[in-house]
């Protein structure tokens, strides 16, 4: 893009030297002071200047690969903020980004390598030399599994190559896996990577189950684009958002209209919307032909709004309104994920939902869906997702059978994130050698035979390929920005941690192409310098490296994905109802259990950070515990009050949670946040709350084998005990209104009190007509 560049800004953007200059092409118009970001080539000299220095890197906490800048003073990282020039987040940051500082200086960080002399014995501190010798010996015997969180870029390549070298496999883990979503992208768009959703240029958006403003995929990027979507000054008028999901999420609360539906019926709702559009001829014949090309003759006839209205619990008028808004008030965009894909028919749901973009002509169109290109650096993984629950069941069976010699675990807290029915402890007990990388001991690393302290992303080198990318090639550069953290009195290093990638490379003894991650970073700069173009250019690789570190990455707005017209896929299992587990026998009323990712703790990976423990949930304002959202009419009928300790029982186990009644919950559903219930995790996480993931049943998506984490039925029992919930709100109950209705509109001559009373009586979405 072009920009009016002042002489001062030009001088700050161009780094002169005796051999050439580095030229930065800005992603956006940025204040002069935001360009003054250092590359820590001379970090030791920075330590004595007595002033702030800001260094750019990529966030290692967030799944999306956000760019951040870190304020460093005398070698200590003090503050993390969004990188204003990085195209993924444009200066914004996720609430969890800040937790990296507390984890860097966490008093419970693992100080040095630890090993057990035998299974079940205690840990003994050992040296890094001894630890590396064990790792090399164990890996050298072959049959290795490397289990990690979903990692892309250079770290993902190193993990995969290491496993392959030692006759093993690399398997990735996500508590709320996105394999169904990735499968839908392949089926509907023919894409291996998640696409760019052009929210900022859309006028009408329908989201089925995807809490994109809260915790889904890349909420920082989507929130930034949502601001553009809502800004009428962008040229398309203020956009309107429909959120279709059973539970009121952050995105549902922000929507123009929240449409609560019966769980698992999102795919049929999408096809009911399609049936209205096709029947009324609201889009072009070409779009209709592409959408119906692989559907059986008359397939849409059974998805009439009048029929689906009864099955999905959504009024016929609402279905017609949604269909007409999408078809006539474009550009329109339809997205789906989260709970919509977390059922036994999850793949059908997401395939049907995303196919609406083909019907609306939104694929490759402004305000629609754009496919992302591959990485500009050959061989770097540009996409990653957790293996399916079925794959994990098969892998754990191999561990139990003694077919795996060594398991190396990093960022995959499977003992906490998998249902207890798979018995992770038993599987690990049958693996001769278990190695775990961790900063603070967690539920899984506590079961290992060898524990290696992992350095923070603020202390290590790396290359990140963000997902989703912004529609064009983007690479993030990660660099050490802080000296090793020290104890409070400064007498010793807090943790002698090392980077996961560096340890694997040393264990492979150069067989993976390099001995340090820094070498791979240098090679990437060589590749980009040879290719030319992009946001940073320079005549030499060394100059380019300095520029890449200052900018925090490289991107090329001209290197975009190829988005071609495509027919909608053949939708299998058109009439398959979602399957739910049978409730456990005994006393207590039966409910659908709806786990949801915590806005602060997400899936629990950052539970050790007290800042995030104290972050209030945006809907309930609760913190520091596990609560259960229950419909306030249901709670009243069952004699349940806020703070009552409830036992939630499934066929695989039970947990305790504190009752939080409110109006925006279906009468037959319970919402429970994920993230708490750790047996290990440091002083602020251990023994706090309950782990709802542990009681999920083993229902799976019919096509991918993914865990159907929204398919568990439970009973609740009131213990009769009551504990005050730690929350930010006062004692005045918030009044939920019908989605799409203004919070309060006082007519001339009226008053707020009477109007508020009218809203409460008239617009409760789950009102009981017999409740006085």
| Integer angstrom CA distances of residue 330 from 208, 333, 381, 557 | 18, 8, 35, 25
CA 447 distance to own-chain centroid: 26
User: Which pLDDT belongs to residue 12?
Assistant: 41
Any long-range contacts for 680-683 (C-beta under 8 Å, 24+ apart)? 680/441, 680/442, 680/443, 680/445, 680/446, 681/440, 681/441, 681/442, 681/443, 681/604, 681/607, 681/608, 682/106, 682/107, 682/108, 682/440, 682/441, 682/608, 683/107, 683/108
Is there a cis peptide before residue 618, judged by omega within 30 degrees of 0? no
Burial 252-272 (b: 16+ CB within 10 A, else e): bbbbbbbbbbbbbbbbbbbbb
Q: Which pLDDT does position 409 carry in this prediction?
A: 98
Our measurement of the distance from residue 600's CA atom to the centroid of its chain's CA atoms, rounded to an integer in Å, reads: 12
Find the helix or strand (DSSP H, E) in which 103 lies: helix 99-104
For the stretch 36-42, contacts whose Cβ atoms lie closer than 8 Å and that sit 24 or more positions apart, written own/partner, are 36/12, 37/69, 37/550, 37/551, 37/552, 38/550, 39/479, 39/545, 39/546, 39/547, 39/549, 39/550, 40/72, 40/479, 40/480, 40/481, 40/549, 41/546, 41/549
- Sort strands 653-662 and 712-722 into parallel, antiparallel or unpaired: unpaired
What is the Cα–Cα distance from 195 to 214, expressed in whole angstroms?
19
The answer for residues whose C-beta is within 8 angstroms of residue 609's C-beta and 6 or more apart is 99, 102, 103, 106, 684
Q: How far apart are CA 86 and CA 477, in angstroms?
A: 11
CATH code, 196-370: 3.40.228.10
Look up the pTM and report it.
Answer: 0.89
Domain with CATH 3.40.228.10 in the chain: 196-370
Task: State residue 22 phi and psi, 5-degree precision.
Answer: -100, 125
Please, are residues 256 and 740 in contact by the beta-carbon 8 Å criterion? yes
Strands (E), 577-711: 589-597, 627-631, 644-650, 653-662, 669-674
β-strand 204-208 against 332-336: which pairing, if any?
parallel
Q: Among all chains, which residue has been given the structure tokens 């919930």? A: 725
Give CA–CA dist 576/592, Å, rounded: 18
Q: Where in the chain is the domain with CATH 2.40.40.20?
A: 589-722
Contact 249, 596 (CB under 8 A): yes
What end-to-end distance do the CA atoms of the chain give, in Å? 61
Nearest-angstrom CA–CA distance, 706 and 175: 11
3-state secondary structure of 54: strand
Nearest Cα neighbor of 119 from 503, 537, 432 is 432
Give residue-wise pLDDT tens across range 194-207.
999 999 999 999 99
Q: Any residues with CB less than 8 A from the CB of 225 and at least 6 apart, and which?
A: 197, 198, 199, 200
- 340 near 209, Cβ under 8 Å? yes
What does the pLDDT read at residue 69? 95
Rounded Cα–Cα distance for residues 761 and 32 (Å): 54
Residue entry with tokens 């190559």: 161
Contact 502, 517 (CB under 8 A): yes
Class of the 114-176+382-560 domain? alpha beta
Give the tens place of pLDDT for each residue, 15-73: 433 334 566 555 443 444 444 455 444 444 445 556 788 999 999 998 889 999 999 98
Q: What fold characterizes domain 589-722? A: Barwin-like endoglucanases (2.40.40)
Backbone angles phi, psi at 717, to 5 degrees: -130, 130
Cα(452)–Cα(435) distance, integer angstroms: 8
Contact 686, 727 (CB under 8 A): no
- Is-contact 368 202, C-beta < 8 A? yes
Q: How many residues does the chain have?
A: 772
Burial class (CB in 10 A: 0-12, 13-18, 19+), 199: buried
Judged by DSSP in three states, 341 sits in: helix
Counting Cβ atoms within 10 Å, is residue 48 exposed (0-12), middle (13-18) or buried (19+)?
A: exposed
> 580: which 2 tokens?
């739910």
Closest alpha carbon to 172 in 197, 187, 151: 151
What gap in Å lies between CA 348 and CA 703, rounded to an integer? 8
Distance, CA of 241 to CA of 256 (rounded, Å): 5
Percent of the chain with pLDDT over 90: 75
Which pLDDT score is estimated for 487?
80
Contact between residue 682 and residue 613 where contact means Cβ atoms under 8 Å apart: no
pLDDT of residue 232: 60
Q: Give yes or no for a contact between 539 and 346, defined as CB atoms under 8 angstroms apart.
A: no
Ranges of the chain whose pLDDT falls below 70? 1-50, 232-237, 573-575, 730-772
pLDDT at 728: 83
* 169-172 and 144-148 beta bridge pairing: parallel
Q: What is the DSSP letter of 449?
A: S
């Amino acid at each position: 893009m072009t920009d009016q560049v002042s002489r001062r800004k030009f001088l700050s953007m161009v780094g002169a030297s005796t051999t050439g200059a580095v030229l930065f092409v800005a992603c956006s118009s940025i204040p002069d002071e935001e360009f003054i970001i250092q590359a820590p080539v001379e970090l030791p000299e920075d330590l004595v200047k007595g002033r702030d220095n800001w260094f750019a890197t990529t966030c290692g906490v967030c799944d999306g690969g956000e760019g951040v800048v870190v304020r460093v003073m005398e070698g200590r990282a003090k503050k993390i903020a969004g990188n204003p020039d990085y195209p993924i987040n444009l200066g914004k940051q996720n609430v969890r980004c800040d937790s990296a500082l507390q984890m860097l200086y966490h008093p419970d960080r693992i100080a040095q390598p630890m090993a057990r002399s035998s299974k079940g014995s205690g840990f003994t501190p050992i040296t890094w030399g001894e630890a590396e010798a064990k790792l090399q010996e164990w890996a050298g015997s072959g049959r290795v599994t490397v289990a990690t969180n979903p990692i892309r870029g250079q770290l993902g390549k190193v993990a995969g190559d290491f496993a392959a070298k030692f006759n093993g496999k690399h398997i990735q883990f996500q508590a709320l896996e996105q394999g169904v979503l990735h499968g839908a992208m392949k089926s509907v768009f023919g894409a291996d990577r998640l696409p760019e959703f052009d929210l900022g240029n859309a006028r009408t958006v329908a989201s089925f189950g995807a809490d994109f403003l809260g915790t889904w995929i890349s909420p920082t990027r989507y929130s930034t684009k949502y601001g553009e979507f809502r800004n009428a000054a962008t040229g398309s008028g203020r956009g309107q958002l429909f959120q279709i999901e059973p539970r009121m999420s952050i995105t549902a609360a922000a929507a123009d209209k929240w449409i609560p539906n019966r769980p698992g019926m999102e795919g049929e709702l999408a096809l009911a919307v399609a049936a209205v559009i096709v029947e009324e001829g609201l889009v072009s014949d070409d779009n209709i032909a592409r959408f119906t090309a692989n559907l059986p003759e008359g397939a849409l006839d059974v998805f009439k709004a009048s029929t689906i209205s009864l099955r999905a619990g959504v009024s016929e008028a609402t279905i017609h309104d949604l269909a007409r808004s999408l078809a006539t008030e474009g550009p329109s965009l339809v997205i789906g994920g989260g709970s919509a894909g977390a059922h036994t028919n999850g793949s059908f749901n997401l395939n049907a939902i995303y196919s609406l973009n083909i019907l609306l002509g939104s694929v490759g169109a402004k305000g629609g869906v754009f496919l992302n290109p591959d990485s500009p650096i050959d061989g770097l993984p540009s996409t990653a997702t957790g293996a399916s629950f079925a794959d994990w069941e098969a892998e754990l069976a191999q561990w139990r059978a003694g077919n795996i010699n060594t398991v190396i675990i990093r960022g995959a807290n499977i003992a906490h994130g998998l249902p207890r029915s798979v018995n992770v402890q038993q599987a690990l007990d049958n693996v001769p050698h278990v190695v775990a990388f961790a900063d603070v001991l967690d539920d899984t690393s506590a079961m290992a035979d060898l524990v290696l302290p992992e350095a923070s992303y603020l202390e290590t080198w790396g290359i990140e390929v963000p997902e989703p990318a912004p529609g064009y090639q983007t690479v993030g550069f990660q660099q050490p920005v802080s000296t090793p953290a020290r104890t409070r009195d400064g007498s010793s290093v807090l943790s002698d941690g090392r980077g996961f990638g560096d340890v694997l490379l040393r264990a492979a003894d150069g067989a993976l192409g390099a001995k340090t991650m820094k070498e791979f970073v240098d090679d990437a700069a060589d590749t980009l310098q040879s290719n030319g173009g992009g946001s940073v250019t320079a005549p030499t690789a060394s100059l380019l490296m300095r520029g890449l570190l200052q900018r925090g990455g490289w991107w090329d707005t001209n290197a975009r994905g190829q988005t071609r017209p495509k027919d909608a896929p053949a939708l299998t299992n058109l009439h398959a109802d979602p399957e739910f587990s049978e409730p456990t026998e005994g006393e207590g009323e039966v409910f659908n259990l709806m786990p949801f990712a915590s806005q602060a703790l997400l899936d629990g990976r950052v539970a050790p950070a007290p800042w995030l423990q104290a972050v209030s949930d945006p809907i309930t304002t609760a913190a520091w515990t596990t609560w259960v959202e229950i419909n306030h009419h249901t709670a009243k009928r069952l004699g349940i009050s806020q703070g009552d300790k409830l036992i939630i029982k499934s066929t695989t186990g039970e947990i305790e949670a504190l009752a939080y009644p409110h109006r925006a919950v279906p009468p037959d559903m319970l919402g429970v946040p994920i993230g708490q219930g750790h047996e290990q995790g440091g002083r602020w996480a251990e023994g706090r709350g309950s782990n709802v993931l542990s009681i999920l049943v083993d229902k799976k998506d019919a096509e991918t084998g993914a865990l159907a984490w929204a398919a568990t039925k439970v009973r609740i029992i009131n213990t009769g005990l009551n504990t005050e919930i730690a929350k930010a709100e006062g004692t005045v109950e918030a009044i939920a209104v019908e989605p799409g209705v203004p919070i309060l509109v006082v007519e001339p001559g009226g008053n707020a009190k009477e109007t508020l009373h009218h809203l409460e009586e008239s617009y409760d979405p789950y009102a009981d007509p017999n409740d006085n």
